[in-house]
Amino acid sequence: MHRPSHRGGHSREVVARSRSSAGGRPPSPGAELEAALLAWRRQADGANAAVHALTAVRSVVAALCERFGAPAALLGELDALAATLGAPTAAPADTGLATAAVGSLRVGPDDEATPDPVRVAQLLASVHEAVLAPAERRGRGVFYTPPEVAARLVALALALTLPEPHPQPHPHPEPSPPAVLDPACGAGTFLVAVAEWLHRHRALAPAACVDAVHGRDLDPVAVAVARTALAWWSWQRGGSPCWARADVRVGDGLAPPADGGPPMGRFAAVVGNPPFLNQLQGRTARAADARAAAQARFGGAAKGYVDTAVLFLLAAVEAVAPGGRVVLVQPESTVAASHAAAARAALAQRAELEAMWFGGAGLFAAGVRVCAPVLRRIEDGTAPPPASPVQLLAGAAVEPAGPAAAAPWSGHGAGGHWAPLLAAARGVPASALRGTSILAGLAAATAGFRDQYYGLVPYVREADPIADGRTAPLITAGLIGPTGHRWGRSPVRFAGRVWSRPVVDLDALAAGDPKLYGWVARRLRPKLLVATQTRAVHAAADPAGSLVPSVPVIAVEPHEDADLWRIAAVLWCPLVSVHAAEQFAGGGLSASALRLSARQVLTLPVPDDGEAWAHAAALLQNAHEGAIGTETNTDHLGERLFDDVARSMAAAYGCSAESSLEAMRWWRGVSDRHRAAMFL
């Protein structure tokens, strides 16, 4: 396979800042290093990126060796690669990088103590990452994990997998080291974390800790940096740099063993942060031969737009031994994305989902939200275990996420469904819906595409009651609130400008674009309009069939014999919003938004109790008909009405009053800032 080098999916762009504190004190060592890294990166214009990065790291390691009395052998790995690449072993120009790097590790007023080796590993990874051009980093996925997060994820994986050591009198035989793999090791952040954990918590000698780590990466410079970081760690912890013993080498972590990939079923744990390579973007999409190789190995689980990071999960479950753990950082979309459903299902056949970590907002500067499933490999031929509680973990501290950690979500449902875990971590109450039928039996759902959106632009104008011609109000997703819309009462942005009362000129559209007019005409029928990118299901009723949905608004159109108000009662039911948030969390633009598709709307369950459902529908219809032509405060009307509707729908779904109240509290909490008039 020929793919970008394997790296984690978080961005920590190095930006030079001239930070000076009050009183004219000099910038901090961190600011000096950032400025030096930026200057070094600017020298790379037209240069070989690998050579430029290698020279930068070597200059820093040489300065560290000189400053802290480390043996020159620590430069051996970098010098050997420099000879292979024809790279210089000295800086092409003095950018102050080496001095700034040493200064960033200042450990005390006298600056005499040797810095912690984990900090040194972090420094080397940061230098390698930061000297690359931003476009190259994004295209190759060169974004490393903060070391404190790597250390806690490693501790999570190894503490679950490795037995507690038995107390033994000293001296005692050195235990056999376990094998731990990072299949996309980059500059070695996770490898050093593994070695440090084994040394501290299993009392292994430094050389045995280095023997335990195994890593693969396609980037030879990254591999040299990782091996050098391990050499520095072993020198500082044990007095001798034993990098030559480490099984950390250039290789494809996704390749099968016959093609040089990691062996199957050997490792006690697989940890790391593989590259996030979005297959909808040209610069990160897999090449044709890589797609073919992935599908040949993983079958249908690798088809479509599944992120490369997900493929590493599949490979890791093959590489880990039965009973071992896999903890690989993933984009948060992995828990819910439809294109990852086959991969989740495949994982559920070979591993038990024990825990799920969600990184939360602000953990990484790029704003990429991350997660990490904790998977325990089961024996081949063994049936997946029954559903069991999945522990929820959150934040940089990788701590239990409160009461929701005990929620009985299972990773072994249809399609390896993990979205409920994300919903629980965000405070969505557990769904308690009961229903044997879905909305597809009552309605069709349609959402337009780019052609409809851009096609309407020339035919939209402000409403003018004096002007001749037929028009229809245009409803955007931003105009739709929890139980209605604000057309004509709130400004709206469409096609790059702000409108007060946007309408579609139907006569002009019929003359100018008959095909698009046909699409619009088919939407001018009784329906409900459902917004996307909302935290709960937001819908507006259009019983008169007079509104035009703007892409990506979903038009839910009742079948000929179906009751629009029964469908409204379903879409406006807080319990249904809870169900949707639980099933489809993680697909929106923001962390908590739903990006419902037309197909997903049609999968929403409908009640089995027709009498209670009919009562709720009658309440909504009567309220609508009573509000037409009045100046009633419909917000207040809606709040009072929905207490009654919620109770009726809870009864219709067979849910308890407690579940209904919990759903209503959550629904109001996420919907209050989207207050909308209930009816047009």
pLDDT at 86: 83
Lowest-confidence segment of 67-76, 305-314, 411-420, 660-669 by average pLDDT: 411-420
pLDDT at 303: 85
pLDDT classification of 284: cutoffs 50, 70, 90:
low
Lowest-confidence segment of 71-85, 474-488, 580-594 by average pLDDT: 580-594
pLDDT tens digits along 41-64:
777 655 677 888 899 999 999 999
pLDDT at 5: 41
pLDDT at 642: 78
pLDDT at 28 over 60: no
DSSP string, 577-589: HHHHHHHHTT-SS
Contacts with 212 (C-beta within 8 Å, 6 or more apart), sequence order:
177, 178, 179, 180, 194, 195, 198, 204
Mean pLDDT of 438-454: 94
Choose among 144, 250, 138: nearest CA to 192.
144
pLDDT tens digits along 558-589:
999 999 999 999 999 999 999 998 888 765 54
Mean pLDDT of 609-626: 91
- Beta-carbon count within 10 A of 236 CB: 18
pLDDT at 35: 86
pLDDT at 409: 43
Token digits for 120? 């040194």
What is the rounded distance in angstroms from the CA atom of residue 531 to the CA atom of residue 511?
A: 29
Lowest-confidence segment of 67-71, 330-334, 417-421, 612-616 by average pLDDT: 417-421
What is the rounded distance in angstroms from the CA atom of residue 187 to the CA atom of residue 525?
A: 60
pLDDT tens digits along 487-508:
999 999 999 999 999 999 999 9
Between 316 and 382, the higher pLDDT residue: 316
pLDDT exceeding 90 applies to what percent of the chain? 49
Mean pLDDT of 13-23: 31
pLDDT at 456: 96
What is the rounded distance in angstroms from the CA atom of residue 115 to the CA atom of residue 69?
A: 12
**Contact present, 495 and 450 (Cβ < 8 Å):** no
Q: Give the burial string for 240-277 (b: 16+ CB within 10 Å, else e).
A: ebbbeebebebbbbbbbeeeebbeeeebbbbbbbbbbb
pLDDT tens digits along 266-277:
999 999 999 887
pLDDT at 406 over 50: no
Using DSSP's 3-state secondary structure scheme, residue 410 falls into coil
pLDDT tens digits along 618-630:
999 998 887 655 4
Q: What is the mean pLDDT of the chain?
A: 83
pLDDT at 289: 82
What is the rounded distance in angstroms from the CA atom of residue 592 to the CA atom of residue 340?
A: 19
pLDDT classification of 87: cutoffs 50, 70, 90:
confident
pLDDT at 260: 85
pLDDT classification of 454: cutoffs 50, 70, 90:
very high
First vs last C-alpha separation in the chain: 57
Mean pLDDT of 155-168: 80
pLDDT at 216: 96
